[in-house]
Structure 1
Amino acid sequence: MITIHLRYQIDPEQLDTFVEYGKRWIRLVNRLGGTHHGYFLPAEGDNDEAFALFSFPSLAAYEQYRITAETDPECIEAYELVRGTGCIIRFERRFQKPLFSDDPALDQRQ
């Protein structure tokens, strides 16, 4: 399994637009074979930083998702929402491997 961690610098004046973008991508990632773990929006502290986490069974599955997303009409529409509004100033993408509990009784994902 590979988990993608995204850190966004967002325009705080366009938080509603970023929320709309996030809702679209949660559905799209899940539709295209991943598991979206949600967006994490500013609440206290910095008002221009948000995060997202989603996983794929493998790096190869993630790469296939990226290829599919380039031509999927709904994905293109979500990309255009950001391009048209500038609600995302920049983002960073990291690939991580999850560590779960050693006790299978505590962790049903193993």
Structure 2
Amino acid sequence: MITCHVRYVLDPYKVAEFEEYARLWIPLVTRMGGTHHGYFLPAEGANNIALALFSFPSLAAYEDYRRRAAADPDCQAAFALEARNRSILSYERSFMRPVLE
């Protein structure tokens, strides 16, 4: 299993817009074979940092998801929403392997 960790730097005045975008991706990742562990939005502390965690069985499965997402109309609609909202200033993507029981 590979887990993708995404750290977003947000426009702090557009957290609600980012949340709308984030809610679209949870079922999309699930539909495409991943397990979404959720988005984590600012609550206390920094008001412009959000995180997302989602897993795929392998890096190859994640790469397949990325290819399919590029052509999927629902994914394209989510990308278009963020292009209009411009809530994400930057992001970093890391891949990790979980240690579970």
Aligned counterparts of 1:58 and 1:2: Cα–Cα separation in 2: 5
Structure with more relative contact order (C-alpha pairs < 8 Å, separation 6 or more):
2
Aligned counterparts of 2:17 and 2:73: Cα–Cα separation in 1: 19
3-state DSSP of counterpart to 1:44: coil
Aligned counterparts of 1:85 and 1:21: Cα–Cα separation in 2: 9
- The 5-angstrom pairing of residues 1-110 of structure 1 reads 1-101=1-101
Kindly state the Cα deviation for residue 72 of structure 1 after the two structures are TM-superposed.
Answer: 0.3
Give the TM-score taking structure 2 as reference length: 0.97
Give the TM-score taking structure 1 as reference length: 0.90
Contiguous gaps of at least 5 residues in structure 2: none
Aligned counterparts of 1:72 and 1:100: Cα–Cα separation in 2: 32
Aligned counterparts of 2:37 and 2:70: Cα–Cα separation in 1: 22
**Percent of residue pairs identical:** 55
Kindly state the Cα deviation for residue 18 of structure 1 after the two structures are TM-superposed.
Answer: 0.5
Match of 1:108 in 2: none
Aligned counterparts of 1:26 and 1:70: Cα–Cα separation in 2: 16
Aligned counterparts of 2:62 and 2:80: Cα–Cα separation in 1: 21
The number of residues matched between the two structures is 101
Contiguous gaps of at least 5 residues in structure 1: 102-110
3-state DSSP of counterpart to 1:3: strand
**Backbone CA RMSD of aligned residues:** 0.6
Aligned counterparts of 1:45 and 1:16: Cα–Cα separation in 2: 17
Aligned counterparts of 2:14 and 2:44: Cα–Cα separation in 1: 17
